[in-house]
Amino acid sequence: MMGKALLLIFLASPVVMAANPARIESMRSEQDVAASTDPGVPFWKDAGSVAAERGPFGDPLPRYRTEIRSRWTDKNLYFLFICPYEKLNLKPLPSRSTETYRLWDWDVAEVFIGSDFENIQRYKEFEISPQGEWVDLDIDLTKPHHEDGWKWNSGFLVSARVDSVAKIWYGAMRIPLSSLQDRVPSTGEEFRVNFFRSQGPPTKRVQIVWQPTMQKTFHVPEKFGLLRLVAITK
């Protein structure tokens, strides 16, 4: 959640999604599972995936290429982040049982998801740290302090682990679909989405994105891509 002040210049203007946005396909699963951080388990082997490997302005960042995988069920939407790193920037005294306000000041992986295609300034934000900390936010960009949305609670679950030898950390999310919309999901349904990472200490901080925002902020909803719920492939 970077560059909050810069968002104010956009609030007076209508925003629309870009034509022909990029897509990630989320593969259906017949049953719910725990949010595993092991990319080798069958659940994640069958998942659709994309890579975040650019900076906010589109500059290539192959060293930090972050793979994101996704699956869905009738009740939940799953994400796995596979995050190579150089040096972790971790919050002291982490809490895994309570929400961590301003988690975005540390190393995190994030997904922004919106189900409203009419008012794209409304969406949800989900973050996880390498230590298993978490925060979720109900974002409304028409409000001057949209970070106040952290008081919202989606009920999502997370897990994380760090492979210090390979220098990769893994973060998994299980997000209740009821926190994104009121209806039961169906094959072919789409959500607006973008993925982000913040990596490294403040003096060498790197921001990694899936779809470049072309601004000094992640909160540019007209640059979001799409996530499509797809059926199981044989």
Contact 101, 108 (CB under 8 A): no
Q: How much is the pLDDT for 46?
A: 83
What is the H or E stretch that residue 96 is in?
none
Q: Distance between CA 96 and CA 100 in Å, rounded? A: 8
- β pairing state of 225-230 and 190-199: antiparallel
In this predicted structure, what is the pLDDT of residue 2?
52
Which tokens in the block code for residue 130? 């390498």
Does 36 have pLDDT greater than 90?
Answer: yes
pLDDT score recorded for residue 15: 46
Higher pLDDT, 232 or 64: 64
- Provide the CATH number for the domain formed by 5-12+23-94+106-230 in this structure: 2.60.40.1190
Given a cut of 90, whether residue 50 has pLDDT beyond it is yes
CB 149 within 8 A of CB 48: no
Confidence of residue 19 (pLDDT cuts 50, 70, 90): low
Q: Specify the pLDDT at position 11.
A: 40
At 148, the pLDDT band (50, 70, 90 cuts) reads: confident
What is the mean predicted confidence (pLDDT) over 171-196? 96
The SS3 assignment for 220 reads coil
Q: Can you tell me the mean pLDDT for 142-164?
A: 90
pLDDT value of position 149: 82
Is 217:57 a contact under the CB 8 Å cutoff?
A: no
What is the average pLDDT across 145-163? Answer: 90
Q: Which among 149, 77, 141, 161 has a CA at the least distance from the CA of 111?
A: 77
Which class for 233: exposed (0-12), middle (13-18), buried (19 or more C-beta within 10 A)? exposed
Asked if pLDDT for residue 171 goes beyond 60, the answer is yes
pLDDT above 70 as % of the chain: 91
Q: In which band, very low, low, confident or very high, does the pLDDT at 233 lie, cut at 50, 70 and 90?
A: low
**Token pair listed for 198:** 């913040």
pTM of the model: 0.90
In whole angstroms, give the CA distance from residue 103 to residue 220: 20
**Domain locations in the chain?**
5-12+23-94+106-230
Q: What is the mean pLDDT of residues 5-10?
A: 38
The per-residue pLDDT of the chain, averaged, comes to 91
How far apart CA 179 and CA 155 sit, in angstroms, is: 8
The count of C-alpha atoms lying within 13 angstroms of the C-alpha of 213, restricted to the half-sphere facing its C-beta, is 21
Closest to 150 in 3D by CA, of 160, 139, 161, 141: 139
